[in-house]
Amino acid sequence: MTTSTNLITVDEQAKFFHLHNEQISYIFRVIPEIGQLEQVYFGPVITTPLDFHHLISREFRPSNNQLIDDGTSSLEHIRQEYPCFGTTDFRQGAYAIRYASGDYISEFKYQQFAITSGYPDLGELPHARYHDESAATLTVTLQDQYSPLQIQLHYTISTKNAVIIRSATFVNTSNTDSYHLDRALSLNLDLPDADYDLIHLHGAWAKEMQVERRPLMTGRMAIDSDRGASSHQHNPFLALAATDSTEKDGLVYGATLLYSGNFLGQVEVDNYDVTRLSLGISPTQFDWTLTPQSKFQTPEAVLACSHTGLTGMSQAFQQFFREHVIDQKWVDQPKPILINNWEATYFDFDEAKLLKIARQAKQLDLGLFVLDDGWFGKRDSDNSSLGNWTVDHHKLPAGLSHLASEVNQLGLKFGLWFEPEMISLDTPLAAEHPEWIVGHPQKRRSQGRNQYVLDFSNPDVVSAIFEQMAAILHSAAISYVKWDMNRYISEAFSTYLPAERQGEFYHRYIMGVYHLYHLLITEFPELLIESCAGGGGRFDGGILYYASQGWTSDDTDAVERLKIQYGASMLYPLQSMGSHVSAVPNHQVGRRTPLSTRAAVALFGTFGYELDITKLTATELAEIKAQIQFAKSVQPLIQKGKFYRLASPFTSNRPAWEVYDSETKTGLIGYYQILNPANPSYHRLQLRGLVPTQKYQLTEINLSNNTILSTEEVFGDELQNIGIILNKDYTNKAAEYWQRPQPTDFASRLFQLKPTE
Ligand code: DGJ
């Protein structure tokens, strides 16, 4: 018998499961003799008949432990769906359960399947959402042979996206017994070969999202975070790109997690060139007690597959985030262009200074004034007052509501910075509730940026912080919040949790963070929240579920940002990346880049400003006004268009990228020159994603005054195959050549595409 929907086909006799849409196929089966799940295929769509038995291969491998005495039932040599270490498989497993006797011996066998429409609702744990008839979920239930435990594996596919969403639910059906979950990953994928490069995004503070690509080797390679947040160091993303794949072509798998806490992403290549990709909550210090009649739900892993290289993978992720993760309220709505006072004033401000900036911002047609760190308690430096969310009346004698209403009267919205999860020791909260601080009362508790972490695994702490924040948000017209988080968790210990449940701390902590987000957006549904963690220290799919944009990095230098935003674009949509024009010399690297280049980079994100606009020259102000006018005109394109990386800042002196919207046939191309070479070579920039037969108007924009430098009509095929000719034609123009404005380092050019008819 066959159960079939337009997305999932199940051969109930042979027990083959096939998830499919127009782009991808994902096939696995139950091995009849042993009841285990076997991965059969994941890749570009397969339209062969239902029977996939011919896809099974088994070498006879002597000297192995066998589940049954048949020579081929060693799980070590079977590509599995959700494996467990130790039951004849010596690779690292997806889960580990500790039983009452202290053993880890599990044997989960297939029991049943169910198909439901739409996406599973995981409550406050971020998950793919926005039900429509175009998605379906297959749930396969496995039953332990030694306990009343079940594992439900969920697989969701939709008609539109080239992604599979996977997660697992551990269900304890016992009325009396508890079990320990020491490892519970979200995703395991065993691929039949090892001909891949691993691509991931690594970094540190102010240099997040650095792209690294290197060939797989036999053995394990892991990226992870055990810092309490997804981290600057490794983004929860990895890709396996076929060794011959490029930006444009070839097979690429990508995986990410809708989760903001500790994670592990790992690739293990065995001695027969089988590649195991795993992703999920980090097992470090993880120990979840499955009490009687309880469940544990893993975060969702999103698995993308592209046969059009890295571009296809990135576009699949970006589309998925836009359509199924980011709050739809913000996806297409024009975002206000903001001015943030942090790099303008740091902690040194008063109402007059802020209003001077706001007045200037109004002159420039900005839409939102954001008051960053320093408005509360006695916060004159970073060693005080976190957790005391009351207005500093020395700096703001008339209070926040007065400031907000003054800003509003100018015609700007008002936004405010918080760092909800943190505490300074000089606050009433720290004195009243020292037990709310993460750490063991009798042991070392390290500070980070002079601050400590509040125990968000304790619901009382989350409620108390929510009350303080809600009081402030009710007290003034605040339409935007920047939620910062500036240190990682070390010496983790919660006085709220009993000794045997300390292994639950990190996950409960991040669930507390999500709960506070949930409380805030429920109480203030119109609030736009930007996440931040010392820049991109918690920039991930989980946080995007609650905060539709994130501060990508504290590094605002345009040249550095080319790499950071390029790296982030591996999976995140442009509209999620906060990117601001800041001052020169740049505060992080001291570089002087032209104002036009700073804007030409920041435009490819959620655009804003972060400098003292009261100290600029009339020429600079006029230039900024022109930039803002231009930014507004391209915002719908940036939010909706597809992103193409044309040349990498990691390998090229002339990086370039393009956004193109196939509906409106409009595009924007950014081309950058990092260092200016003498006597330059010829250069062309080939565009992508256009309609070959469409005639476009190609316009070079002068961002300094929002005027047109040149315009011509060109067909799509010429722009894609020949490209934009970037050198000038100086034939018979020697004089013009010698009198030209000297090209500079850190230069940029912007091109716009519009259909001619
Ligand atoms: C780190 C953030 O990334 C900055 O933008 C700024 O908000 C500071 N914290 C404030 O302390």
Q: In what order do the strands lie in the sheet with 642-647?
A: 642-647, 656-661, 666-673, 747-755, 695-702, 707-715
Give yes or no for residue 540 having a pLDDT over 80. Answer: yes
State residue 474 phi and psi, 5-degree precision: -80, -25
Determine the pLDDT at residue 408.
Answer: 98
Distance 419 CA to ligand 1 centre (A): 9
**Measured CA distances, 548 to 259, 509, 610, 638 (Å):** 14, 21, 20, 14
Quickly state the pLDDT bin for 742 (edges 50, 70, 90).
confident
Question: Which residue range(s) make up the domain with 721?
Answer: 647-755
User: Does 162 fall in a domain?
Assistant: yes
Is 359 in contact with 353 (CB distance < 8 Å)? Answer: no
pLDDT of residue 5: 80
In this structure, are strands 108-117 and 480-483 parallel, antiparallel, or unpaired?
A: unpaired
Q: Which atom of ligand 1 is nearest to the CA of 482?
A: 7
pLDDT over 90, % of the chain:
95
Residues 325 and 546: their CA atoms lie apart, in Å, by 9
pLDDT by residue (tens digit) across 134-182?
899 999 999 999 999 999 999 999 998 999 999 999 999 999 999 999 9
Q: Exposure pattern of 551-560 as b/e (b: 16+ CB <10 Å)?
A: bbbbbbbbbb
432: in domain: no
- pLDDT per residue over 632-665, tens digit each? 999 999 999 999 999 999 999 999 999 999 999 9
C-alpha of residue 552 to centroid of ligand 1, in Å: 11
- Within-domain flag for 268: yes
- In order of 579, 659, 670, the CA distances from 257 in angstroms are 23, 25, 30
How far apart CA 468 and CA 428 sit, in angstroms, is: 12
Closest residue by CA, ligand 1 atom 5: 554
554 labelled catalytic? yes
Which residues does a 6 A CB cutoff place in the pocket of ligand 1?
342, 372-373, 417, 484, 486, 532, 534-535, 551, 554
**CA 599 – ligand 1 centroid, Å:** 21
Domain CATH number, residue 728: 2.60.40.1180
Instruction: Indicate the pLDDT class of residue 69, thresholds 50, 70 and 90.
Output: confident
Q: Which pLDDT band, with edges at 50, 70 and 90, does 725 fall under? A: very high
The CATH number given to whatever domain includes residue 17 is 2.70.98.60
Q: pLDDT by residue (tens digit) across 185-215?
A: 999 999 999 999 999 999 999 999 999 999 9
Q: How confident is the model at residue 62 (pLDDT cuts 50, 70, 90)?
A: confident
Residue 556's pLDDT is 98
Is 200 exposed, middle or buried, given 0-12, 13-18 or 19+ CB atoms closer than 10 A?
buried
Check residue 64 and give its pLDDT: 86
What is the rounded CA–CA span in Å between residue 222 and residue 202? 12
Q: Apex CA 457: angle with CA 466 and CA 547, to 5°?
A: 55
- Alpha-carbon distance of 269 to 275, in angstroms, equals 4
Q: Which of 342, 421, 449, 539 to mutate to test the pocket of ligand 1 (most atoms within 8 A of CB)?
A: 342
pLDDT of residue 535: 98
pLDDT at 451: 98
Antiparallel, parallel or unpaired: β 295-297 and 549-551: unpaired
Residue 199 lies in a domain: yes
Structure tokens at 404: 């907000």
User: Cβ(647)–Cβ(686) under 8 Å?
Assistant: no
Query: Distance between terminal CA atoms of the chain?
Result: 54
What the block records as the tokens of 219 is 């053995």
Confidence at residue 743, expressed as pLDDT on a 0 to 100 scale: 87
Q: Pseudo-torsion of CA 422, 426, 428, 429, nearest 10°?
A: 20
178, part of any domain: yes
Does the structure show a pLDDT above 70 at 424? yes
pLDDT band at 78 (very low <50, low <70, confident <90, very high): very high
The reported pLDDT for the residue numbered 289 is 98
Mutate to test the pocket of ligand 1, among 205, 207, 373, 451 (most ligand atoms within 8 A of CB): 373
Residue 402 pLDDT greater than 80, yes or no: yes
Give tens-digit pLDDT for 275-296. Answer: 999 999 999 999 999 999 999 9
Instruction: Determine which residue's CA is closest to atom 2 belonging to ligand 1.
Output: 534
Question: What is residue 310's three-state secondary structure?
Answer: helix
- Unique residue bearing structure tokens 């476009």: 696
Single residue among 270, 298, 324 that ends a domain in this structure: 324
Domains identified in the chain, total number = 2
Q: Is residue 40 part of a domain?
A: yes
Nearest CA to ligand 1 atom 10: 373
What's the pTM?
Answer: 0.98
Q: How far is 237 from 187, CA to CA, in rounded Å?
A: 12
Q: Which of 345, 375, 551, 577 to mutate to test the pocket of ligand 1 (most atoms within 8 A of CB)?
A: 551
Which backbone phi and psi does 663 adopt, to 5 degrees? -70, -50
Whether residue 560 lies inside any domain: the answer is no
Question: Once rounded to an integer, what is the mean pLDDT over residues 20-24?
Answer: 96
End residue of a domain, out of 273, 299, 324 = 324
Q: In the predicted model, is pLDDT for residue 49 greater than 70?
A: no
| CA–CA dist 476, 315 (Å, integer) | 40
| Lowest-pLDDT choice from 81-85, 564-568, 703-707 | 703-707
Among residues 275, 294, 324, the one where a domain terminates is 324
pLDDT for residue 48: 67
**Residue 369 Cα, ligand 1 centroid: separation in angstroms?**
15
Q: What is the 3-state secondary structure (H, E, C) of 704-738?
A: CCCEEEEEEEEEHHHHHHCCEECCCCCCCCHHHHH
Cα 505 to Cα 510: distance, rounded to the nearest angstrom: 9
Structural domain includes residue 707: yes
CA of 548 to the centre of ligand 1 (A): 18
The mean of the pLDDT values for the chain is 97
CA gap 5, 650 in Å, rounded: 44
Phi, psi of 80 (to 5 degrees): -110, 165
Question: What's the average model confidence in pLDDT over 333-337?
Answer: 92
Q: Which of 554, 557, 612, 661 is labelled catalytic? A: 554
Q: What is the pLDDT of residue 627?
A: 98
What single letter denotes the amino acid at residue 262? N
Distance from residue 342's CA to the centre of ligand 1 (Å): 7
The whole-angstrom separation of Cα 561 and Cα 583 is 14
φ/ψ of residue 316, rounded to 5: -65, -45
Confidence of residue 757 (pLDDT cuts 50, 70, 90): confident
Choose, from 224, 392, 484, 555, the residue flagged as catalytic: 484
Mean pLDDT value of segment 534-550:
98
Q: Check if the beta carbon of residue 267 is closer than 8 Å to that of residue 251.
A: no
